[in-house]
Amino acid sequence: MPGFAPLLAGSKRQAPSDLLGQPASKRPPLDERCWMVQWRKPQTRKHKTWDGDAVLVVSGTRAVLYDTDGKTIGSGKVDADLSEGTPLQLAGKELEIDCPIPHSEYLSGACFGRSSAPMPQPATKVQKPFKKLTTSNTRVTLVRDSSKPLPATPASVKEAEVSHEATISKDSDAVSESHWVANWRKPKASSNKQTWDGDAYISQRGNLLTMISEDGKVMGTMTWKRSPLYAGLSFHFGGKAVQLDAQVTASQLPMTTGTSHNENQPPPPEVPALPQDESKAAPSRFVVPSANFYGPAPKTKTVVPKHDPDAPGALLMKAPTKEHKSLFNKKNLPVIPVVLDPILVRHLRPHQIQGVRFLYECVMSMRKHEGQGCILADEMGLGKTLQTITLVWTLLKQNPYGSGLPVVSNVLIVCPVSLINNWKAEFHKWLGRDRVGVVACDKADKKVINTFINTKTQQVLIIGYERLRTVIDELESCIPPIGLVICDEGHRLKSAKNKTVETLRRVKTLRRIILSGTPIQNDLGEFHAMADYCNPGLLDEYQAFRRIYEVPILKSREPDATSKEIEIGTARSEQLLAVAKSFVLRRDASILNNYLPPKHEFVVFVAPTKLQTSIFQKILNPDRVDSLMQGPTAESLALINMLTKISSSPILLRATADKAKMARTSVASKSLEGALQLLPPNAEIEDLSLSGKLSALAQLLAILRLHTDEKIVLVSHYTSTLNILEAFCKKKRYSYYRLDGQTAATKRQEYVNAFNKSDAKSAFVFLLSSKAGGVGINLVGASRLCLVDSDWNPSHDLQSMARIHRDGQKRPVYIYRFLTTGAIDEKIYQRQVTKLGLSNAMMGNGAENSKSDSFSRKDLRDIFKIHFNTPCNTHDLLQCYCAGSGRRLSKQDVSSTDEVMSDHEELSPHEGFVQASEIRMQPVADYDKKQLKEKEMQLAALGEWTHINCLRPTVQDDVQDDILRRILRQNNSRPNDHSPKEQSRLDRLLHDTDLDNIAAVDEGVINVDLRELPGGTISFVFQKTSLLPESSEEPE
């Protein structure tokens, strides 16, 4: 664990006097005390030893014993009053009280972990070197200054002792720094014949004591606020009994790991020159001065700042602190201001300047955490690439210490293969082609790697994740070694056992940066994996992290969590967030509102076609669903994949049928055979009328091409769907580009550049595979983007939808996500919103519970259900009170509605009489209250959107997109299939004047059957815009 107490788990020891002056943020439970103890199993041998340290939590007479990983190892009752040194027995173990610890440390988990660190320390693994001190067998060692010559007569021991006592008495008033030789042992139960276990050194700096072994290993630290140290002082240090022997100088302490043996060593003893006999002196000879023989002596080069720090608008990086100098400036070199290149500064926005400062301070070990890595988790489009290039250029050319050498000599950038050329183009864009040497390894050619290793002018290597594994042997032995590693789209490192992570760890540098717009996708384990790569050991091993942080945090979010679990979970969450803020920087896209055109986002719910509803009913009959629930998971996953394809287009079932010929006996295969019989025999791949959302997409493309000169990007996660869209573009003669996994890496950036520079006639559509080109590329030539299908991982969709709202965009941006109403599309979208709650909370102000990627039987049963009686199942689960009116409710409206609903919930359901017209069928009647409340909390983020029921008559006024309004007008001009078809004039008049029907329309409660709506009808829209609402400007 890192060496700063408030942010890390692992503080094991603290002096008892610290507890008196330490305020508690929360009042602990009555009579609950926490102690650090030593424990062992009962032993019969003469010289007993302790098995380990533990934490004892006592509440009244009830005591619980936890090991250093936070695992319960015993519990029971204690009767005696506890104090330091008190022996007791608990749960079959022998204990001895070491020292008390604050209750807040137990709640936050700071007392658990691998090491103790009660006070902040400089964040680095390189510590100040000390000279090796050799001690004799005696326990009191007298130290002589080795820099002076030996005296003519040996000094007496008595004089040395007097001198030593005088030195201690002189410095005993206020010792700010002192160093001691000490003996230590583990406490023994018997007081007879106690022997010392070893020698060590105690170093005091202010209120911090550090214990160092003879071989330079730091054995622990603790806070010291007692009397000044003196020879013979005995005290407990980290579960060990320590006795000071003699005071030594700092140069006589052993050298710690990671420092040079030659630095800060005292000069060798001066040997007095022997007198020479003048009579035997050699005759003097003339010697040619070296200045004349070898030429003029070399002049000492004065190191000056690379750029003028006093120039107007100069941006200076943080100067090294005193602690930083003591660790990294052993040669006392002059401190040189680090100034950002003015050519880059003029292009940086305020948030990017903040980002460059953050990156610089992290890799230079100038922040609180221990380590030199960080995660830049800005949302897509905020300019992470430019911030990184600015940092790389600064480190390659400057150094805060005047050594004449830069901080790093080589930089490795690892990214998806589709971004290699984009990174190279960005370097050339901001720095030119001659200022920095950039090598792009986009081919299987080791000559490129050899060029980077053997040529000093090539300083930056850009390589793909997959290609890195084949050349890691060459890069591992690179001289000079790689000084900085940058992982673009670093959420790929979400597993510690990933082969990519193992490969990257072989690059021996601690300066590691992860760039990711979606750092947390599923659970806290992914966050731990990325954090552990950036700063190894910062969050301890995963098992300890899970026990100390992840499990308590998740338990505190359970609906039935106890008050104790909530208290502990909240404290652990705050502790983890405090750690994360030190090395994680996250900004959302709202910063771009002042720099980029407005962005409008729409989630469009489209009614399925009659063919789709018939296939759904054929496949999802109750008997087959029950068989799937009892069958293996593989069949359930196969059916999920089949339902996803039906939602996109039923024509995709033909390709699925060819792959399933080998498994005719499975339930999914039998369902597929029945569905194929419903498919028209003459159906063609370019026929979009088979699918509801593709029919709506065809309308959108037609209106966009006819009434505007804008271009559009169509994104799909499946190449089979891209094949349908490509065939449709050929049929309609829409010009297009296509980028998927089959596109050559050398052609990808070429297609992107050509599309951005072309007009709508030359390139109207860009067909994009989210897996091949959904990250990093800029498609600012288009102002509209449509996500045809959704992925279970929300980061894939977010990355894909961020391709057009970036620097260089000149038009207002419109982003559409098409979903099939009531089908599996909605279930995937709901699960995405739930997962995004974890990422937003961990990067923001809290942590939320999140489902994993596994499905319970209840989840599967819900996924295999199609909701035909609602315009939007997601809106029903929200229990939103807007009724799809297109008006966002204020906080006062929501609170008043909540009060009314809570009052109604308190009434008995059988109390009094109600009119029949007041009873309506609930669309989510199959959910119990607990499940419904849980769903509502998971989808709470959708409350930021405007909800519009498109089956209302005046819906066009609420939609803020002219293209969608035109589609809605076309839908309203169709025959109303879901209205009564055969009614007399009197019946229609009575239906129109029925007060209940009028109220239902006003409230948005429209009873609808999707099977009677024309395929492609837009039933509901979620809308969000970056523009400020007009209502916010009105006075309250």
Tens of pLDDT, residue by residue over 560-573, are 788 888 889 889 98
Q: Which residue, 438, 386, 554, 417, is CA-closest to 492?
A: 417
CATH number of 351-535: 3.40.50.10810
Least reliable range by pLDDT among 550-554, 705-709, 730-734: 550-554
How much is the average pLDDT of 664-679?
68
pLDDT of residue 486: 96
Residue 826 CA to residue 817 CA, distance in Å, equals: 11
For the chain, the structural domain boundaries read: 5-108, 124-136+173-261, 351-535, 598-605+679-898+943-978+985-1036
Concatenate the DSSP letters of all residues of 815-865 into one string.
EEEEEETTSHHHHHHHHHHHHHHHHHHHTTT-------S---HHHHHHHT-
Is there a shared CATH topology between the 351-535 domain and the 598-605+679-898+943-978+985-1036 domain?
yes
Residue type, 344: L
Residues 993-1009 have pLDDT tens digits of 454 444 444 444 456 77
Helices 420-431 and 745-757 cross at an angle (nearest 10°) of 60
CA distances from 323 to 357, 369, 705 (A): 19, 14, 64
Secondary structure class of 902 (helix, strand, coil): helix
CA angle at 932 for the pair 929 and 935, rounded to the nearest 5°? 150
pLDDT of residue 398: 94
The structure tokens listed for 270 are 């001066």
Residues in Cβ contact with 574 at an 8 Å cutoff, skipping those fewer than 6 apart: 108
Residue 752 CA to residue 8 CA, distance in Å, equals: 45
pLDDT of residue 277: 46
Residue 800 has pLDDT above 90, yes or no: no
Chain mean pLDDT for the chain: 76
Residue 498 has pLDDT above 90, yes or no: no
pLDDT band at 666 (very low <50, low <70, confident <90, very high): low
Residue 1021 CA to residue 234 CA, distance in Å, equals: 74
Report the share of the chain in percent with pLDDT over 70.
69
pLDDT of residue 228: 83
Burial of 112 (0-12, 13-18, 19+ CB in 10 A): buried
What length is written for the chain? Answer: 1036
Residue type, 1004: G
Cα distance from N-terminal residue to C-terminal residue, the chain: 51
Full-model pTM: 0.65
> The sheet that has 32-40: what strands, in order across it?
72-77, 62-67, 52-59, 32-40, 93-101, 87-90
Element housing 696 (H / E): helix 692-707
Residue 1004 CA to residue 992 CA, distance in Å, equals: 16
CA angle at 524 for the pair 522 and 530, rounded to the nearest 5°? 95
pLDDT band at 260 (very low <50, low <70, confident <90, very high): very low
Question: For the chain, give me the number of helices (H) and strands (E)?
Answer: 33, 27
- What values do phi and psi take at 585, rounded to 5? -120, 125
pLDDT of residue 907: 39
Secondary structure class of 1003 (helix, strand, coil): helix
Element housing 55 (H / E): strand 52-59
Residue 493 has pLDDT above 80, yes or no: yes
Concatenate the DSSP letters of all residues of 753-821 into one string.
HHHHHS-TTT--EEEEEHHHHSSS---TT-SEEEE-S--SSHHHHHHHHTSSSSTT--S-EEEEEEEET
Residues 70-119 have pLDDT tens digits of 888 888 888 767 888 888 888 889 888 888 888 888 888 878 865 443 33
Residue recorded with tokens 């050329």: 421
DSSP secondary-structure letter at 161?
Answer: H
Q: Which residue, 513, 492, 511, 512, is CA-closest to 501?
A: 492
Residue 703 has pLDDT above 90, yes or no: yes
What is the torsional sign of CA 460, 462, 466, 467? Answer: negative
CA distances from 387 to 316, 369, 384, 484, 768 (A): 15, 21, 5, 15, 27
pLDDT of residue 818: 95
Domain 5-108 listed as CATH 2.30.29: yes
DSSP secondary-structure letter at 315?
Answer: -
Residue 203 CA to residue 211 CA, distance in Å, equals: 6
pLDDT band at 296 (very low <50, low <70, confident <90, very high): low
**Whether 583 contacts 958, CB under 8 Å:** no
Residue 329 has pLDDT above 50, yes or no: yes
Residue 611 CA to residue 547 CA, distance in Å, equals: 51
CATH number of 598-605+679-898+943-978+985-1036: 3.40.50.300
Residues in Cβ contact with 616 at an 8 Å cutoff, skipping those fewer than 6 apart: 608, 643, 646, 823, 866
Report the share of the chain in percent with pLDDT over 90.
26
pLDDT of residue 446: 80
Highest mean pLDDT among 18-22, 54-58, 621-625, 924-928: 54-58
Residues 947-975 have pLDDT tens digits of 888 888 777 778 889 999 999 888 776 65
Residue 607 has pLDDT above 50, yes or no: yes
Burial of 384 (0-12, 13-18, 19+ CB in 10 A): buried
pLDDT band at 324 (very low <50, low <70, confident <90, very high): very high
Helices 446-454 and 465-476 cross at an angle (nearest 10°) of 40
pLDDT band at 120 (very low <50, low <70, confident <90, very high): very low
User: Which is higher by pLDDT, 463 or 1029?
Assistant: 463
Residues 735-767 have pLDDT tens digits of 999 999 888 888 888 999 999 999 999 999 999
Q: Which residue, 142, 144, 234, 222, is CA-closest to 185?
A: 234
CA angle at 900 for the pair 895 and 906, rounded to the nearest 5°? 125
**278-283 long-range Cβ contacts below 8 angstroms, 24+ apart:** none
The structure tokens listed for 1026 are 């970056």
3-state secondary structure 418-434: HHHHHHHHHHHHHHCCC
Residue 602 has pLDDT above 90, yes or no: yes
Residue 353 has pLDDT above 90, yes or no: yes
Helices 667-676 and 610-619 cross at an angle (nearest 10°) of 150
How much is the average pLDDT of 692-708?
94
**Whether 581 contacts 842, CB under 8 Å:** no
User: Which is higher by pLDDT, 60 or 788?
Assistant: 788
Residue 150 has pLDDT above 70, yes or no: no
**Whether 520 contacts 530, CB under 8 Å:** no
User: Which is higher by pLDDT, 574 or 261?
Assistant: 574
| Phi/psi-derived region of residue 404, left when phi > 0, alpha when psi is between -120 and 50, beta in every other case | left
Give the dihedral of Cα atoms 429, 430, 432, 434; nearest 10 deg. -130
CA distances from 974 to 203, 356, 871, 977 (A): 85, 56, 17, 8
- What values do phi and psi take at 591, rounded to 5? -65, -30
How much is the average pLDDT of 654-664?
60
Residue 229 has pLDDT above 70, yes or no: yes
